[in-house]
Amino acid sequence: MAKVAVVLAGCGVYDGAEINEAVLTLLSLEQQGASYQCYAPDIEQMHVVNHLTGEPVAGETRNVLVEAARIARGNILDLASLDVGDFDALLVPGGFGAAKNLCNFAVAGAEMAVHADFLRIARSFHEAGKPIGLICIAPVMATAICGAGSRCTIGNDAETAAAIEAMGGEHVACPVSEARVDKARKLVTTPAYMLAGGVAEAYSGISECVKEVLALA
């Protein structure tokens, strides 16, 4: 049975992990016979967003690990403790937290920096020849993790695709129900809510991404 590390970037589409994507990732892993352990960085979120209004909340702070524990029902560990040797693959659901907490793409675009612990761990998976699945907006980190020329998708958003190419990646268009595989780098990406109009559409691509990741493990 393959064992997969799943990194969550908080809880909530606007400032953390996209909840549906996270749950669908875990569901797909179970359905396809894999086990998993969730991780999140023990850091403060970039900011807190009121998910009813979509507006940032002034003066409020939340911890990414504590928030992500809501999705994982408390069964989650500090990202800094992740031992790559314990796992066969890495999966990262999207949500703005991937672009705000795991990196700062949301504010810096192609000049972004990736959170040091996450980058160290993700690169260790790549260097060990273990597959990595990046979902939704998370593929903006593909080149930082897997190097120049990494082939990935965020669907068809022209601005984000251009930023990926500016960072040295190769963006390939992809419908919501599919995933794209860079076999040389064992990198799998899918658009999910970059394109999905609902839960079923998001599930179609996420389950395909999980299938491809497990096939490479």
Which residues are marked as active site? 136
- Compute the CA torsion angle 191, 158, 139, 151 (nearest 10 deg): 100
Supply 122's token pair. Answer: 């993700």
Q: Is 175 exposed, middle or buried (0-12, 13-18, 19+ CB in 10 A)?
A: middle
Among 3, 1, 25, 186, smallest CA distance to 86 is for: 3
CB 136 within 8 A of CB 16: no
Q: How far is CA 48 from CA 33, 69, 80, in A?
A: 35, 16, 23
Between CA 142 and CA 180 the distance in angstroms is 12
